Amino acid sequence: MLLRTDKVSKHFGGIHAVDGVDFTLRQGQLKSIIGPNGAGKTTLFNLIAGVYLATNGKVFFKDRDITNLSLHKTSRLGITKTYQITHIFPNLTVFENVRISAQSRNTAFNFWRTTHSFSALNERALDILEQVELLDKRSLLASTLSHGERRYLEIGIALATEPEVLLLDEPTAGMSCAETNLCAELIKKLNKELKLSIVLVEHDMSVVMGISDEILVLNEGRTLAEGTPIEVSDNEEVQRVYLGEGKACSA
């Protein structure tokens, strides 16, 4: 198993945001976490990413215990998270945003060389911009991008850290249906063509049902159901608690 949690919990005072959840992600899998508002999706995500310390339980990456490693350390190991709120440098170009992120992975950095001399780094940044379909916008300031394009850039910044696992937190939040459908295609492409293992927290059911290999349904901090999109959408308990909520853009 590439990534797994063993009865992981996170309590905020008396609130059991995540309560004894077993999560698994296989190599190359695209797994979504869904559930009603307050179900614990983002908290579980943050436990995996190293944003939160676990109250109980363990998190393993390739059988290594990574429970309570910091976000910085999990990122170094190959688990990279994007944010619900975009984290970009608005006054740098699209290209510079990705190159800086790629540079953070370059351990052979030499202070006395100009950044432009890192041709391999520049090529990598351009490759990534092509993958996230922003190559033609590379010279624009990030601040001039549309909301949807900024989310793509954010994914590009995450890809530049060379992740093995990409954690996407509501990537389509605030997008129009047209942007949402394109974003779903992009996520699917990263998973199928780049063989990237992906964990997705997402409210849009057409995205979740359309691209996930498996879905974990949380409710009140606990696992309500887990299975393929068909298994989960046929589950009566899931239908009662969750399905039908949220937006749904169909392709």
Residue 41 in contact with ligand ATP, rule: CB under 6 A: yes
CA distance 101 to 49: 17
Strand pairing of 197-201 and 165-169?
Answer: parallel
d(CA 41, CA 36) in angstroms, rounded, equals 9
* Number of shown-chain residues binding ligand ATP (CB under 6 A): 11
Considering the rule CB under 6 A, would residue 81 count as an interface residue with ligand ATP?
no
47: phi then psi, degrees, rounded to nearest 5: -70, -40
Of 32-40, 118-126, 146-154, 191-199, the window that binds ligand ATP (rule: CB under 6 A) is 32-40
Among 38, 174, 210, 229, binds ligand ATP (CB under 6 A): 38
We find the least distance from the C-beta atom of residue 41 to ligand ATP, in angstroms, to be 4
Tokens read off for 138: 């590379």
Region of 33-41, 59-67, 114-122, 204-212 interacting with ligand ATP (CB under 6 A): 33-41
Residue 38 or residue 78: which is nearer to ligand ATP going by CB? Answer: 38
Q: How far apart are CA 174 and CA 155, in angstroms?
A: 15
Evaluate whether 95 touches 125 at the Cβ level (below 8 Å). yes
Dihedral sign computed on CA atoms, order 159, 163, 165, 169? negative
Among 2, 17, 190, 196, binds ligand ATP (CB under 6 A): 17
User: Which residue is it, tokens 């999990």?
Assistant: 74
Which 43-62 residues touch ligand ATP, going by CB under 6 A? 43
Query: For residue 16, what is the enclosing H or E element?
Result: strand 15-21
Q: How far is the CB of 42 from ligand ATP (least distance, A)?
A: 3
Residue 163 touches ligand ATP, criterion: CB under 6 A: no
| 37 lines the binding site for ligand ATP (CB under 6 A) | yes
- Tell whether residue 223 is a contact of ligand ATP (CB under 6 A): no
Phi, psi of 185 (to 5 degrees): -65, -40
Taking CB under 6 A as the rule, does residue 216 contact ligand ATP?
Answer: no
- Backbone φ/ψ region at 103: left (φ over 0), alpha (ψ -120 to 50), beta: alpha
Among 31, 40, 88, 124, binds ligand ATP (CB under 6 A): 40
Element (H, E) at 31: strand 30-34
> In this chain, which of 5, 29, 35, 74 binds ligand ATP, going by CB under 6 A?
35
In this structure, are residues 102 and 128 in contact, taking their beta carbons and an 8 Å threshold? Answer: yes
Identity of the residue, 47 or 142, whose beta carbon is nearer to ligand ATP in the bound complex:
47
Residue 197 makes contact with ligand ATP by CB under 6 A: no
Quote the strand ranges of 128-231, DSSP E: 165-169, 197-201, 214-219, 222-227
The stretch near ligand ATP (CB under 6 A) out of 31-39, 123-131, 145-153, 208-216 is 31-39
The binding site for ligand ATP (CB under 6 A) comprises 12, 15, 17, 35, 37-43
